[in-house]
Chains A and B, each alone.
Chain A
Amino acid sequence: NAGVTQTPKFQVLKTGQSMTLQCAQDMNHEYMSWYRQDPGMGLRLIHYSVGAGITDQGEVPNGYNVSRSTTEDFPLRLLSAAPSQTSVYFCASRSGTVSYEQYFGPGTRLTVT
């Protein structure tokens, strides 16, 4: 049971480039989400999904797209990278039991120059 996996671990992009951050989970969780973490600001929700084919925006969705074609995978696409998107990105999946506890991937550290 690998839990939540993310690739890549590190990435450097130039302004204007696009890329996809990969996220997968093997816990059969319906709910998955993407956060960004910036110093001193906690985590902010980018997008989330409550099941395959269903996605919605979080607090800071601009500049990012998501899709959910399977229960396992939830990729995050940066359409045209900007320096303001330099951050650490975490994918999480959530238990469907009463606790609704979230489990986090190892993170992707993204630098946009």
Chain B
Amino acid sequence: DVKVTQSSRYLVKRTGEKVFLECVQDMDHENMFWYRQDPGLGLRLIYFSYDVKMKEKGDIPEGYSVSREKKERFSLILESASTNQTSMYLCASSLLGRQDEQYFGPGTRLTVT
């Protein structure tokens, strides 16, 4: 079974802090994605990556950056957290050419106070 893990299920940070959300997948998938999910807005794509050291902006990249130094790990970085970044963050992975079948992690609920 594909397993996508995220470093924390719940996280509380203060405004202005630098926040790292880590995602690891164990199936050698090329594609990795970061989404955020907010009530009434559904899932929105922040960034995605097709390969190591490659990244592409999604629909809402502002205020975020990403890092993909190893194939299995995709990190989402909030350089200076703000209260409007309080959200559920979901990581996913898929094989190259199979973006249709993404495997999602359990999510990290981030609260910025």
Q: Do A and B come from one complex?
A: no
Interface residues of A (CB under 8 A from B): none
Interface residues of B (CB under 8 A from A): none
